[in-house]
Every structure is written in structure tokens, then in C-alpha cells.
């Protein structure tokens, strides 16, 4: 396990790298140029300035999350080739600065979606919450209104420039079936994977979050069948996944220990977090501690340990605890606790295998 911590950049995050330094055993910072409009080439100067800052704090900068994929590529429209060329250039530029893994996703229009960012957990803390009924009751075309009224729908992974285009985007996706979306993903990958191989970079697709269709849009990274279909696209060593327990695990049919057994070897990057799933399918994010949620985090780490997993791992969303004022899900305290839990499990499984005196 190469422990990393996601950080949103100077001036863009409440957490500082000096604080991250005090969490035991964090080796790297997971970063991105969050201000860049999706589709633009990341220049070497911009990359250099971010990487230098991270390295100056004693961390590696080998994992980027995310280089977002332009909707034209997901839609397969006439502009996609230009955006794919831009993406290739960004890959080349990142490789010049030692980047090894690029996390991305292929979710139409929306990235991760929740209905409440500060839902009370009952112990004075709050966490990210997803309520099915609320999503079902929203007409996506009304999203203009709801996005600006943050009380009705929370879209932390939102690319703001999409706000003006939402109607036309929904229109454009009318003809995009799951099969079509998969074809468009395959087209994109077949173009970029040879460049990734030259650059020794792994493309690690992130699962859909939540792992089911929302607002009638197709989703193709929701569970084991999808993972198998994805991997069948190419046997390139650069064609990989991000193993995210919280995203896939929000569907109780996804047994995360089983999935770790089958897919961790194709995951150079893992996000580990817990969620508690209610009987009606709603879910809330909890501490990383296994008994607090529905996902067997202990079993997942055991699997990774059994496989001598040496990929990058980050704790994922945390609760908002001890009155921390932070980006939703991305505070310091609960993610630091999460790391300590992961390290504890990891060391315990390791000592099982070696003689403990
Ligand atoms: C949420 C994250 C996602 C993830 C992207 C990957 O916190 O796990 O936003 O970064 O979906 O492209």
C-alpha cells in the first residue's frame, strides 16, 4: 500500500500539506489542476508548478485524479477527435513530471452525486448522503434551478461550465445507449492507450457513483459485469481501474471483498471508504471503521494484503467531525482517522504472516 491523500491545491483546499505531513506514512498527494476547463491541455508550466509544490513538501505526485473526459468524447460527436488529441498531449505532459496513474471516469454529465452534503449522523458529525426519492423526484431539465439552489441537490463533482449547457447535453444523450457509451469509451481508450504505454502511465477508470443510472442517463461502470466488459476492451497494461469501495459498494449486490479478490490486480489505485446502506437503498457515508457501515473494509484490506498489493491507496470521503469546516467529504480529521485504520489493518495482516515476537 502506497498511502496517498487527495488534495485540491493551494487556495482551493482547507487542508494544508504541512498538516498532511503529520499523518503517519502518507507518501503521496493525489492532485489535479482543478481550475482547468475540461478538455483543455494541461501545460507543462502548470503541471510543473503544482508538482514542485507537492514535492517540496516531501510527497510524490504520481497520481492524478482526475483528468476529466470531455462530453464530446463520451457522446462520440464530431469534436471528439480534437479533444482526444488534447487528452493525449496532457498525458505526455504529465509523464514528463513522473505521473504514473491517471484516474478518470466516464459518467455522462454528472460526476458523483449526493442529495445532502451535511446529513447528521446522530453523533454530532455530518456526512454525505444519497436519497433515491429525492433524485427520482427531480426533473433533470429543471437542474438549472436546482443546481443554483444548493439545498435541493448537491453536486460536489460538478463542472460549473456545464450549467449553461445542461438542456442541450440531455438532448445529446437521448440517443446514447449503454452500448453506444461503451463503444465511445472503447474508441477513446484505443486512441490513448498506446500513448500511455509509451509514457508508462496507467489509466484507471473510476466506477460510477452511485453505481446505477440516474436521470435516465446511461452508466457502464456499476459492478462486476461492467468491469469484465471494460477489461475486455483491451489487454494493454495501461488499461486499468480505480478500485473504489464506496462507489461500487453503495449497491449491496457488489460484494467488495469478492471484487477485490477479482480485480485488485488491475487496480493501481484504490479508494477505501465505508457507506451505510439503508433498507430502502439510500446510503450515508460513515467512518472507515467496518462495523460503522455496510462494507467489509477489514475483508477488503485483507484481500489487498493477501495479494501483496502495492498500488496507491487513499482514504476516501470522510465525515465532518470536530466542527471542521472543509470541502464536503474532504476534511483532514476523518480522513486521517481513516488512514490510521487502514494502516492498523494492514500491519495486523502483515504480522499474521510473519512471526510476531
Ligand atoms: C469523489 C471522487 C470522484 C472521482 C471521479 C474520478 O469524491 O471519488 O469525484 O474523483 O469520479 O474521475
Q: Which atom of ligand 1 is nearest to the CA of 317?
A: 7
Residues with CB under 6 A from ligand 1: 65-66, 103-105, 111-112, 157, 206, 271, 317
Q: What residues does 320 pair with on adjacent strands?
A: 126
Confidence at residue 150, expressed as pLDDT on a 0 to 100 scale: 47
- For the question of residue 200 being annotated catalytic, the response is no
Atom of ligand 1 nearest to the CA of 209: 11
For ligand 1, atom 2, which residue shows the shortest CA distance? 112
pLDDT at position 140 = 73
> Looking at residue 159, what DSSP letter applies?
-
Alpha carbon distance 166, 344 (integer Å): 45
Q: How far is the CA of 324 from the centre of ligand 1 (A)?
A: 22
Active site residue 316: yes
Q: How many CA atoms lie within 13 A of 219 on its CB side?
A: 23
Determine the pLDDT at residue 352.
76
Q: Exactly one of 103, 116, 119, 206 is catalytic; name it.
A: 206
34 given a catalytic annotation:
no
DSSP string covering 245-277: HHHHTTSTTS-HHHHHHHHGGG-SEEEE--EEE
CA of 104 to the centre of ligand 1 (A): 8
The reported pLDDT for the residue numbered 198 is 98
CATH of 2-356, one of 3.40.50.2020, 3.90.1300.10, 3.20.20.150, 3.40.605.10: 3.20.20.150
CA-angle at 133, arms to 174 and 126, nearest 5°: 115
The candidate with the shortest Cα–Cα distance to 38, out of 17, 9, 69, is 69
Residues whose CB is less than 8 angstroms from the CB of residue 274 and which lie 6 or more positions away in sequence, other chains included: 245, 246, 249, 285, 286, 287, 288, 289, 290, 292, 293, 294, 295, 297
119 is catalytic: no
Q: Please give the distance, rounded to the nearest whole angstrom, from the Cα atom of residue 113 to the centre of ligand 1.
A: 10
CB 262 within 8 Å of CB 244: no
pLDDT in tens, the chain (357 residues): 999 999 999 989 999 999 999 999 999 999 999 999 999 999 999 999 999 999 999 999 999 999 999 999 999 999 999 999 999 999 999 999 999 999 999 999 999 999 999 999 999 999 999 999 999 998 776 655 554 454 445 566 666 666 678 888 999 999 999 999 999 999 999 999 999 999 999 999 999 999 999 999 999 999 999 999 999 999 999 999 999 999 999 999 999 999 999 999 999 999 999 999 999 999 999 999 999 999 999 999 999 999 999 999 999 999 999 999 999 999 999 999 999 999 999 999 997 777 554
Amino acid at each position: 500500500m502506497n498511502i496517498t491523500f487527495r488534495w485540491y491545491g493551494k487556495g482551493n483546499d482547507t487542508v494544508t500539506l504541512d498538516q498532511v505531513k503529520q499523518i503517519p506514512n502518507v507518501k503521496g498527494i493525489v492532485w489535479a489542476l482543478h481550475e482547468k476547463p475540461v478538455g483543455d491541455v494541461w501545460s507543462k508550466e502548470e503541471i510543473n508548478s503544482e508538482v514542485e509544490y507537492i514535492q517540496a513538501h516531501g510527497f510524490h505526485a504520481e497520481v492524478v485524479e482526475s483528468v476529466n473526459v470531455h462530453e464530446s468524447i463520451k457522446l462520440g460527436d464530431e469534436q471528439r477527435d480534437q479533444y482526444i488529441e488534447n487528452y493525449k498531449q496532457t498525458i505526455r505532459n504529465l509523464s514528463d513530471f513522473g505521473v504514473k496513474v491517471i484516474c478518470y471516469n466516464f459518467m455522462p454529465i454528472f460526476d458523483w452525486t449526493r442529495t445532502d452534503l451535511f446529513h447528521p449522523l446522530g453523533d454530532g458529525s455530518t456526512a454525505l448522503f444519497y436519497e433515491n426519492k429525492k433524485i427520482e423526484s427531480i426533473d433533470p431539465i429543471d437542474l438549472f434551478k436546482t443546481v443554483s439552489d444548493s439545498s435541493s441537490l448537491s453536486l460536489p463533482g460538478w463542472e460549473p461550465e456545464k450549467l449553461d449547457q445542461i438542456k442541450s447535453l440531455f438532448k445529446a444523450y437521448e440517443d446514447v445507449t449503454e452500448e453506444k457509451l461503451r463503444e465511445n469509451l472503447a474508441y477513446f481508450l484505443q486512441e490513448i492507450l498506446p500513448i500511455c504505454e509509451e509514457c508508462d502511465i496507467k489509466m484507471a477508470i473510476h466506477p460510477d457513483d452511485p453505481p446505477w443510472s440516474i436521470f435516465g442517463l446511461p452508466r457502464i461502470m456499476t459492478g462486476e459485469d461492467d468491469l469484465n466488459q471494460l477489461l475486455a476492451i483491451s489487454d494493454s497494461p495501461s488499461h486499468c481501474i480505480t478500485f473504489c469501495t464506496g462507489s461500487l459498494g453503495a449497491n449491496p449486490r457488489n460484494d467488495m471483498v469478492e471484487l477485490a479478490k477479482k480485480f485488485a490486480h488491475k487496480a493501481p489505485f484504490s479508494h477505501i471508504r465505508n457507506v451505510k446502506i439503508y433498507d430502502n437503498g439510500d446510503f450515508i457515508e460513515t467512518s472507515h471503521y467496518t462495523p460503522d457501515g455496510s462494507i467489509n473494509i477489514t475483508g477488503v484490506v485483507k484481500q489487498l494484503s493477501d495479494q501483496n498489493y502495492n498500488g496507491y491507496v487513499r482514504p476516501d470521503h470522510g465525515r465532518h467531525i470536530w466542527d471542521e469546516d472543509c470541502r464536503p467529504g474532504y476534511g483532514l480529521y476523518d480522513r486521517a482517522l481513516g488512514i490510521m485504520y487502514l494502516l492498523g489493518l494492514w500491519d495486523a495482516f502483515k504480522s499474521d504472516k510473519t512471526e510476531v515476537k
